[in-house]
Structure 1
Amino acid sequence: MIRALFTALGPENSGPLRRLLALLAVSSVLQGVTYALLVPLMEAILGPGPGSAWPWFGVVAVSGLSAAAATWTAQTAAFRTGSDLARVLHHRLGDKIVQLPLGWFDRTRVGELSRMNSQSVPQVMNVPAHLLRPAVTAVLTPLTVVAVMPLFDVRIALTLVVSLPLLAVILRWSNRMVERADRDRHASIDEAAGRVVEFAQAQPVLRAFGRAGGDGALDRALAGQGAADRAMLWRAVPGLVAFGFAVRAVFAAVLIVGVHAALGGSLAAPALPALLILTARFAEPLSAAAGLGASMRISANSLASINRVLAVEPLPEPARPVVPASADVEFRAVTFGYGDGPVLREVSFTMPERTMTALVGPSGAGKTTVARLLARFWDVSGGQVRIGGVDVRDIATEDLMALVSFVFQDVYLFEGSLADNIRVGRPGASDEEVLRAASAAGLDEVVAALPRGIDTPVGEAGTLLSGGQRQRVSIARALLKDAPIVVLDEATAALDPENDAVVQAAVASLAGRRTLLVIAHRLRTVQAADQILVLNEGRITERGRHEELLDAGGTYSRFWQERSRTRGWHLTGAAGQGGG
């Protein structure tokens, strides 16, 4: 646990924790010494000359005050260290998240990161703030008592020494039971958190189909979390009870040994109550150890999940980064898969600078994977992705992100003004540049209709704008970023004709000025492309211009014919009749 804490903090942030552990060790040992000094004090008080107890009173008072001062100092440091720990972990997680490969993020990661920041970090913060002091006390104070006990009675000391391995075994068993149960519980919490996010995001679909009141996957995830909580209780209780019983059995054994020695005359009567008090001080911190150990194990699981994220290797940065001299793109025999088999197989093509390349094909063919490999969301399994003749693995991440701009089908807007969301494309852009990008993306009418113009807040996730308007904001971001390579991944797939026309005009304005990669199911979007690549089952099966591919009579030609037929469909007033 302590080693994992140091790992999570990192060497540069470990100093306060080291100092806290030293303070806790001193205060725990001083407590044990103070308890040990009670034995001669009690012997003097209960012996034939009570007056001889006064010096011992002074020694016990000095030791007790020293222990209290050390404990107060350690506890103050513990609260401060816990607060600092939470701050450091949030910063380290934030820094790590921006270093992780973009391909690392998926739906389950959203729930995991949400739980980690809202639950795991506070649980780990609780370790130095509240758990370390009793944990260190539960170890060092009893050991100190055992160390000094031979000075007073070897038989009782041996009884305590023999009991320690038994107590350690029971405590370890109890903690392992809690650890396994809590690990299962964490998995169920992550699943439930991910399902809650999914449930919230899918409200339009669920309501459209009368499912707003419940969702099977979410219900099952929540039921699984409840079952994991109950299982944890059932697994934890036997260990807690067994350890508490073992501690009391040790105290009973000491009592039997002490009484037998006192009755036999080998132990002075005044010494027996003093030794029993010392044994009670031995047992008291141990009694709390089982419950404390369970809390520590729960926190340890939270800490382990944090360390797993911190341990994820980012994509390696080049030792000597190269900046491409041009914006042409080449895929050279690229092979890639997500673990269940290759998604792309020996894919090769070139995108000359300032040309438009369209990528079409059936769903699942690997089109989006091609786009994301261009921006190095992942590293390829085989082959190379090159920009300006330079392998993207030899380009610094910051430089690569400056070269490529994305327009996705699903647009996320941050809570803030319309201008703030456009300025995401280039945070240092002036107001005039933001307005020009907004105008080029067809947002003039939108800005004019908003109560505060471009400074109007758009609401959380852009809820005050329509889907088409949010897509225009995404186009404006790309225009403002002014990257030499622009990728449009199904940017017009869900747009109405009006918004589609606006986005098409923005795309046309980029043609000839930027290297464009357009992924689209609407084939009229790609008619003007300099080259069209047909991707099917992870391979490029056709390439050429629109007219050439139509004449070839292959997959593209069939796609075009199917889209042409469906474009003429319409609903009529008579049931069961349609036109085409």
Structure 2
Amino acid sequence: MIRTLLRVLGPEYAPPVRRTVALMAATAVAEGLSCALLVPVLRALFGGDPGGALPWLVAFGAAVAGYAALRYLSDLSGFRVGTSLLHGVYHRLGDHLARLPLGWYGPGRVGEVSVMAGRGVLQAIGVIAHLLAPYVSACVTPLTIVAVMLAFDWRLGLAALAAVPLVAAATRFTGRSMAATDAERAGRDHEATGRVIEYLQAQPVLRTGGRTAERFGLLDDALHGLQRVSRRMTLAVLPGVVGLTLTVQAAFTGVLVLGAYLALGGGVGAAEVLSILVLAARCADPLLSLAELGGTLRVARAELVRLDTVLRTEPLPEPARPIRPARRDLEFASVTFRPDGRRVIDGLSLRVPEGQRLAVVGPSGAGKTTLLQLLARFHDVDEGAVRLGGVDVRAISTEVLRQQIAIVFQDVYLFDGSIEENVRLGRPDASAAEVRAAATAARLDEVVERLPGGWATNVGEGGALLSGGERQRVSIARALLKDAPVVLLDEVTSALDPVNEAAVHEGIERLMAGRTVVMVAHRLRTVRRADRIVFLDGGRIVEEGTHEELLRRRGRYAGYWSLTLTR
């Protein structure tokens, strides 16, 4: 488990963790050795010279004080290292999630990442701060006491030592019993979290449908599933916990019986037997806590494994010798893309000269948005190449590629902050004048003027306090401020009212001026001014040409155009 923890944390955190574990182990040994001093104390008290116990009592007090100091230092080290690691893991996880390809964020990832970034990280890092010290103590202190018992009387020591493999076997059995349901419980946990998020997001729909008093079936099913698997986990662990308790009690009883037999036979003095039994009783408490600690550690270890799995997920590879493109033309060269074995783009080839506009149209599921994602390198192609300025996007560094491309999607996400902060995401170092100019070009200034907070108006989580058209204007202003030479547009006006659509179109025209553009649109009126139009279906180009050429051919595009006119 420590290896997994160090792998999750990264090499820079390994030294403090190792030092903390070593300090905890030394503390546990000191605890066992301080308990060992009870033997001469009790021997003197119950022997012929009670006054001889005084030096041993002083030594025992000094040993306890030393143990207390070590315990304080080890606990303090655990808390400090745990706090430092928590900060580091959150940063490492956040940085890694930002580098993972967009294709990784499939269905169910919201719930999984929410659980992982919340309770999962806290449980994993809580191992150092809260669990590791008592677990090390429960393992090392009894072994130290057994070693002391061997030194005082090898027969009683061997009797205690014989219990070690039995306790280890019971603990291992409990772990295996729990592991069988760990993965299922984690899956149910993630599913339930995702359903809770879905339930909250679906409130407008549920209330509009008059179903506020009804239970949300999918959420109920997820919670009931979580309840069932939790019950199975409890029943699976119960035999191991009972078995561990019986093993510890049986070992103590065996030492007690052997000690009584040796004392009655005269092989060992009563004082020695009493001392050994006190030590054996001291072993029992930490051993009995192993079941509870082990269960908690297994849950934490499962979270560590999931964190490790995510952190070991490879981001898209960076080029060893990145190339900066000198031109701004775009090209798809025999591109095939098969996410999860499903062919979305099939041997597609096309080229967009620098400064021209390409419009991509076609039915839903044809692969239009995927083309934009491949250009922005949200995914890597399976075959062929996507090129910017004649350079394969895989040979361009991520930072440079992002600088070359501005993207405006249909679903705009705004961060919970002011309008100005969201616009500045396009170029954080832009001056106030540049921000205002971009806002004016996107007609965002009209929105700002009518808001009581002006530029400082908070947009809410996801931009919920703004309308769809207002969010699009913020997105266009952000893209204008970025001033990238390549612009990708994805259905930016498909859900806007006429007023906002006109404003957004005006902003889009300014954004596209002098740039290489690839736009996806269902409303074909928005693509008439494109230099070239391709009709996509099944990941292949069915037709291509200008608007007038495609209408004269009376093919698929002409049919789509006729449908838009009749709406």
Decide: shared fold, TM above 0.5: yes
Displacement of 1:198: 2.4
Unmatched 5+ stretches in structure 2: none
Displacement of 1:107: 4.1
Displacement of 1:223: 2.2
Displacement of 1:336: 0.7
Displacement of 1:94: 1.5
Return the letter of the residue paired with 1:67.
Answer: Y
What's the counterpart of residue 160 of structure 2? 160
Displacement of 1:160: 1.8
Conserved in 2, the CA contact under 8 Å of 1:107 and 1:194?
A: no
Displacement of 1:135: 0.7
What's the counterpart of residue 543 of structure 1? 544
Return the letter of the residue paired with 1:144.
Answer: T
Q: Give the Cα separation in 2 of the matches to 1:393 and 1:412.
A: 27
What's the counterpart of residue 321 of structure 2? 320
User: How many residues are aligned here?
Assistant: 566
Moved over 4 A (4+): none
Instruction: Please list the CA deviations of residues 348-373 of structure 1 after superposition, one character each: whole Å capped at 9, or x if unmatched.
Output: 10011111101111111111111101
1:126 aligns with 2:126: yes
- In terms of mean alpha carbon deviation, does 263-272 or 366-375 score higher? 263-272
Conserved in 1, the CA contact under 8 Å of 2:479 and 2:511?
A: no
Q: Give the Cα separation in 2 of the matches to 1:218 and 1:374.
A: 38
What's the counterpart of residue 404 of structure 2? 403
Q: Aligned pair in 2 of structure 1 residues 148, 186: CA closer, same or farther (>3 Å)? A: same
What's the counterpart of residue 23 of structure 1? 23
Unmatched 5+ stretches in structure 1: 568-580
| 1:442-521 matches, cutoff 5 A | 442-521=443-522
1:59 aligns with 2:59: yes
1:233 aligns with 2:224: no
- In terms of mean alpha carbon deviation, does 534-543 or 206-215 score higher? 206-215
Conserved in 2, the CA contact under 8 Å of 1:352 and 1:515?
A: yes
Conserved in 1, the CA contact under 8 Å of 2:487 and 2:512?
A: no
1:249 aligns with 2:250: yes
Return the letter of the residue paired with 1:256.
Answer: V
Instruction: Please list the CA deviations of residues 376-434 of structure 1 after superposition, one character each: whole Å capped at 9, or x if unmatched.
Output: 11111010000000000010000000111111111111122211111111111112111
Displacement of 1:148: 2.2
Question: Secondary structure at the residue paired with 1:323?
Answer: coil
Question: Secondary structure at the residue paired with 2:337?
Answer: strand
What's the counterpart of residue 524 of structure 1? 525
Q: Give the Cα separation in 2 of the matches to 1:460 and 1:339.
A: 32
Question: Aligned-pair RMSD on alpha carbons?
Answer: 1.6
What's the counterpart of residue 571 of structure 1? none
Conserved in 2, the CA contact under 8 Å of 1:178 and 1:298?
A: no
Instruction: Please list the CA deviations of residues 127-163 of structure 1 after superposition, one character each: whole Å capped at 9, or x if unmatched.
Output: 1111111111111111112222222222222212222
Q: Aligned pair in 2 of structure 1 residues 354, 202: CA closer, same or farther (>3 Å)? A: farther
- In terms of mean alpha carbon deviation, does 471-480 or 451-460 score higher? 451-460
- In terms of mean alpha carbon deviation, does 363-372 or 56-65 score higher? 56-65
What's the counterpart of residue 10 of structure 2? 10
Return the letter of the residue paired with 1:224.
Answer: G
Conserved in 1, the CA contact under 8 Å of 2:36 and 2:279?
A: yes
Q: Give the Cα separation in 1 of the matches to 2:435 and 2:424.
A: 7
Displacement of 1:514: 0.8
Displacement of 1:211: 3.8
- In terms of mean alpha carbon deviation, does 271-280 or 217-226 score higher? 217-226
- In terms of mean alpha carbon deviation, does 72-81 or 506-515 score higher? 506-515
Instruction: Please list the CA deviations of residues 237-292 of structure 1 after superposition, one character each: whole Å capped at 9, or x if unmatched.
Output: 33222211211111111111111111222121221111101111222211111111
Q: Give the Cα separation in 2 of the matches to 1:360 and 1:210.
A: 38
Conserved in 1, the CA contact under 8 Å of 2:150 and 2:157?
A: yes
Q: Aligned pair in 2 of structure 1 residues 558, 212: CA closer, same or farther (>3 Å)? A: farther
Return the letter of the residue paired with 1:164.
Answer: V
Q: Give the Cα separation in 1 of the matches to 2:202 and 2:373.
A: 25
Conserved in 2, the CA contact under 8 Å of 1:179 and 1:298?
A: no
Conserved in 1, the CA contact under 8 Å of 2:41 and 2:56?
A: yes
Question: Secondary structure at the residue paired with 2:344?
Answer: strand
Displacement of 1:212: 4.3
What's the counterpart of residue 202 of structure 2? 202
1:105 aligns with 2:102: no
Q: Give the Cα separation in 1 of the matches to 2:445 and 2:67.
A: 72
% identical equivalent positions: 49
Question: Secondary structure at the residue paired with 1:429?
Answer: coil
Conserved in 2, the CA contact under 8 Å of 1:179 and 1:294?
A: no
Q: Give the Cα separation in 1 of the matches to 2:548 and 2:402.
A: 34
Conserved in 2, the CA contact under 8 Å of 1:44 and 1:50?
A: yes
Q: Aligned pair in 2 of structure 1 residues 179, 367: CA closer, same or farther (>3 Å)? A: same
Conserved in 1, the CA contact under 8 Å of 2:487 and 2:516?
A: yes
